[in-house]
Each structure stands twice: as C-alpha cells, then as structure tokens.
A = this chain, B = another copy of it.
Amino acid sequence: MRRRDRAGADAPADDARRGLSRRQLLLGGAVAGAGAAAAIGADAVARVATAAPAAPAELLHGDAVVPFHGAHQAAFTIPPQAHATMVALDLLPETDAEGLRRLLRILSDDASRLTQGEAALADSEPELALVPARLTATIGLGPAAVALAGAAVPTWLAPLPAFAIDALEDAWSGGDLLLEVAGDDPLTVAHAQRMLLKGTRSFARIRWVQSGFRRSHGAEAQGTTMRNLFGQVDGTVNPQPGDADFDGLVFIRDGWLAGGTSLVVRRIRMDLDTWDRLDRPGREQSVGRTLANGAPLTGTREHDEPDFAALTPIGFPVIPEFSHMRRARSDDPSQRFHRRAFNYDERPAGASVSESGMLFTAAQADPLAQFVPIQQRLSDLDLLNEWTTPIGSAVFAIPPGCEEGGFVGETLFG
C-alpha cells in the first residue's frame, strides 16, 4: 500500500487551509514514514523520502491507496477495510459475450482510477473520488457470466449444496456478477459504488445489495481482531495475506482463474434478542473462547493454542465438543479458507430492537474441498446455530488481477 500523492491530482485549491501541499507532507522523512505505516495499515508506506522538511507530517488515512493492478484482486492482499458493499448483478438478456467483455473493461477502468483516488472517466462527482481510504473494487462472476464468455465453468461455481440450517431468501442469493466495493471511508465507498454501477446499467441490473462494517480505521490498535455484534472476538484463527500458507489455500493455480479465487458470500442473521438471554458462560461455551479477549477457554490470551483434551474437574471437555471453534476446525489442514466478515445492522422490524447479522465471506481455491466440508460440519452440529441463520448464499469466481492496460476477467475470453 502506498499513500496517494494528492498534490499531483486534481486536488481542491484550498491548500492554504491544509498548510502545506500533501506532497511535502508525505515526504516528511523516515520518522513520519514509519508513523504513516503504523497509522494506515499493515503494509509499509512506499514513499519515504530522505529529505526531511521541518513540517511534521499530517497522516490521513483517507490518502492511503491500495494498488489496483497485480497478480490478485487487491481485496485479497490487505487487511479488511471498515466498510464494504457487495452488489450482485444479473446480466440483461441482450448482453452477449462481447457486451460482457465491454462491461468488464469499463468496470476495471473505473476501478483502476477510483481505487487510486482519481475520478472515474465519466465521474459526475470527481471530488468525491479524492479520498481513496484503501478503496478496493473486486469483480466476481457467477456461472451464467462464465458460460456466456465461453470459458470453463468450474464445478464449484454453482449454488452450494443445501444445508439443514439454511433459510435462504432469493433476495440475498445468487447473481451473475459480483461487485464488492470496500474502503475505510463510507462516503468514498458510496461514491465508488455508484460510479461503478452507472457503468453496468446497459448490461445488467441489480439483484441485491448488502453492506456491512467493521471497526472504523484507527479506532483500535492495529492488528486488533474485530468483534462481531454478539460481542465475540471474530477472526482469530484465519489465514491472512502474508501468511506462509495463504496463497496456497486461497489462490487458484490453473486455467483462466489462475491467480484468482472463489468467494462464498453468506448472509447470516444473528438473533441478538435471544442471544441476550443466554448467560455469559453459555455464550463462551458456544464458541469455546472467552468474551473478554477471545482466548480459548483453556488459555488466557487470544492467540493461545486451544487444548481440546483439557477436562473440567467433573470430566467434561473445557472446550465443548459442539462449540463453534471445535466444529469449525478440521483435522485436515487443507480444509481452511480466508474469512472476511462485515457486520450488518438494519432497521429493526416489529417488536425486535435489532435486525442484525454478518455478511460472511470465505475465499478459497476450491469451495467444495475447503469450505463445504466445514459448513456441513457446522450445519450438522454447532452450538452457535441456535442464534444464527443463513438467509443468503452465493458463490462467485474471482478472476485474477490484471496489469495496466488489461482488465479483470480478460482471461475468461481465452
């Protein structure tokens, strides 16, 4: 990740208010550079100059840029942002393979600009593009789009097998195309989403839109695992970009999807009203971890290894057999995937004071080999099922990233 050189862009003229040009601020020396890296995310700041002007650097996370071009689509190379909107689209009947190719080109072109803090080509509100805040725009394809292009449709690119726990609603399921817009600023995400959707109007119509959030940028110490709306520390055991086994688990090796991945999107309602009635030990046992800091019930720190053999004085496992953590963990280390979850909290209906849940996503090279066995285990038995219900489900092929001049999805066309 690097910081945007705002002085080089079509920036607002009100520089006096900012004191110095952003460029000067960004080149504020190595110390400032280190601060910037700490302030904006896991990755280093690329621009660290050796010259050291007197002014202290003003570090704005709004300026942080995630490169659009590369081997993989960018969202799978960074820690998740604070806000995400996922839009599923259905292709119009009149859209043919050439239309799809044009659509993917337009989306890639707009995304390559917007994510870099630049206006899209036909941007109607160019000023709203100037605060990238780690914006990423991810493009995914459903089976109909892949077939339309004449490419091989992977076996896994289909609705997941039905699970007993599912109560899926059409309104949150399926889709020919996925557009995921994520960033640390909600205004930027809203603008980018709209600009990207404008480009799709002649080719596709919206099927569903789902938005979610995590902690705001900089609210907590870097590396703090997010909490979900149950109050649980969520994401502790999760292969992360940069981990030794991440690429092998997540990225596809062969064919037109080489360098790409698959994305399972599940909308999971969390019944906070009934969850509230469960006592604290019950809640902790349902997952196998403490609420205070997410430590396994056999440990004291979040990242302690759980001891599944430990027994209570009266002989029960300390981490219950049917706890979510235990059920979600397979003996087979290949049955893992990269989770990115966003909380949702909608207008409550009726007597409820909440309509909440999780926009759960899992990325893996092969959903049938990695995700489905775990989801099946959880569907069979998982204490958490009492308070959670999958109400939406979709699977998308995520093409690899592209280089400058190319477009996401180009490998589809052979």
Contacts and interface: CB of A to CB of B under 8 A. Distances in A.
A357 B272 CA distance: 29
A127 B60 contact: no
A229 B191 contact: yes
Interface in A199-231: 200-201, 205-206, 208-209, 213-221, 223-224, 226-227, 229-231
A109 interface: no
A414 interface: no
A215 B130 CA distance: 12
A217 to B, nearest CB: 6
Nearest to A63: B219
Interface string A26-62: 0000000000000000000000000000000010111
A301 interface: yes
A12 interface: yes
B221 A60 contact: yes
A8 interface: no
Contacts of A60: 218-221
A180 interface: no
A153 interface: no
In terms of DSSP, what is the predominant structure of the interface of chain A?
loop
Interface stretch (A13-21, A68-76, A310-318): A13-21
Given A62-B215, A127-B227, A127-B292, A221 B353 contact: no
Nearest to A231: B125
Contacts of A124: 231, 272, 275-276
Given A206-B353, A275-B124, A301-B16, A216 B217 contact: yes
Contacts of A14: 293-295, 301-302
Contacts of A99: none
B133 A219 contact: yes
A345 interface: yes
A268 interface: no
Contacts of A227: 127-128, 187
Contacts of A301: 13-14, 16-17
B231 A214 contact: no
Contact of A13 (B224, B292, B356): B292
A227 B127 CA distance: 9
Contacts of A200: 353
A360 to B, nearest CB: 16
A198 B276 CA distance: 10
Contacts of A223: 17
A190 B356 contact: yes
Interface in A321-348: 343, 345, 347-348
Contacts of A213: 186-187, 190
Contacts of A356: 190, 194
B62 A127 contact: no
A222 to B, nearest CB: 9
B125 A230 contact: yes
18 contacts: A14-B293, A14-B294, A60-B221, A124-B275, A125-B231, A126-B231, A128-B227, A131-B220, A187-B214, A187-B343, A188-B219, A190-B343, A190-B345, A191-B229, A197-B353, A209-B347, A217-B217, A217-B219
Interface of A: 12-14, 16-18, 58, 60-62, 82-83, 124-128, 131, 133, 184-188, 190-191, 193-194, 197-198, 200-201, 205-206, 208-209, 213-221, 223-224, 226-227, 229-231, 272, 275-276, 291-295, 300-302, 343, 345, 347-348, 351, 353-354, 356
In the A-B complex, the 3 residue pairs with the closest CB atoms: A125-B231, A62-B219, A197-B353
Given A62-B215, A124-B272, A206-B353, 5 more contacts: A16-B301, A187-B343, A190-B343, A191-B231, A200-B353
